[in-house]
Amino acid sequence: MLYSFDKVAESYDTVESDYLKVLYYDLEKGFTDTYRSYGDYRLCTMLTGTKEVSINSDKAFNYTSKEYVLLPPYSSVQMHMKSHTKAVVYEIDERLIEKIADRTEININKENVIYKNNYSNGLHNPLMKLRSSMCEQPIDQRFFMDLHAQELAYELLNAHQNNQKKAGSLSCYNPVDIAREIIKKDGNEKITIGEIADVLGMSQSNLIYYFKKEMAITPKQYQNKVKVERGKMLLTSLNVTEAAMTLGFDNISHFIRLFKSYYGMTPKQYKKYMNSNELLMASCD
């Protein structure tokens, strides 16, 4: 049973090769501590149990044995065990990630690396092979671990690339540009900033930071701006309530306040203004 996260304690249950270090954790219910990835990527998987984690001070989330978490180098993770948990962590040498990325021409940015994701068949297979290789004789163990580590690194990079494709096929991967495209293309108007960050493989806090740095406003403020611009168009054919509902506002008053903050008049006043203009134009014909 592990009672703290530090390099000495972690080394007790460790198997290591040139490109990979496999660490085993047995953590009791209620255990809380800060976990770090140091200088390499860490693929965190669970055999049993449930963890509540917050990565780099981002919003906390739960994950179970059906999901994995990929930590970029120098991440800080606040963890709380919601039940007795057994976990296996694969520390992948950064050199291997860069080597596979170069050969496959997949771009990976430590700031937008995937945090939580579900297992794919492609990722499940090398993990099973790695577990089997740790039962090999020591003379063969390191060779097979590194062989399967390359397959594992490729599948992780492939998952990262697939997440980028979900966000839209832009020739240059700029998460801010893609976030803007997602917001503008959003059909039901209800996509959250957290969901956009998940598609991009970023933490929500990183998305907000880079978006504001480039656009001088937050993603939420940009989303509100897009909604209000659409609302202005919708009001030509819909009443205020219908326009607000179409835009995904559950609170009509919120839509009215937001609209007024942008245009200096309420949606109802805007409709009245537009109708009076149409009557004036008609009388001039």
The three-point CA angle 71-75-76 to 5° equals: 120
pTM exceeding the 0.75 threshold for the entire prediction: no
Q: Please write the tens of the pLDDT for every residue from 258-279.
A: 999 988 999 999 888 877 655 4
Which is nearest to 77 in space by CA: 53, 99, 47, 98? 53
3-state class of 58 per DSSP? coil
List the chain domain ranges.
7-166, 175-284
Confidence at residue 20, expressed as pLDDT on a 0 to 100 scale: 92
- Rounded CA separation 255/69 (Å): 37
Question: Tokens 């009557």 sit at which residue?
Answer: 279
Confidence at residue 84, expressed as pLDDT on a 0 to 100 scale: 93
Q: Please write the tens of the pLDDT for every residue from 140-170.
A: 888 999 999 999 988 888 877 776 555 444 3
CATH for 7-166 (3.40.640.10, 2.60.120.810, 3.40.50.620, 2.40.30.10): 2.60.120.810
Confidence at residue 248, expressed as pLDDT on a 0 to 100 scale: 83
Instruction: Output the six-digit token pair for 51.
Output: 């963890």
Confidence at residue 29, expressed as pLDDT on a 0 to 100 scale: 92
Confidence at residue 94, expressed as pLDDT on a 0 to 100 scale: 85
Low-confidence ranges of the chain (pLDDT < 50): 167-172, 188, 279-285
The three-point CA angle 121-115-151 to 5° equals: 40
Confidence at residue 150, expressed as pLDDT on a 0 to 100 scale: 92
Which is nearest to 270 in space by CA: 244, 242, 231? 231
Q: What is the CATH number of domain 175-284?
A: 1.10.10.60
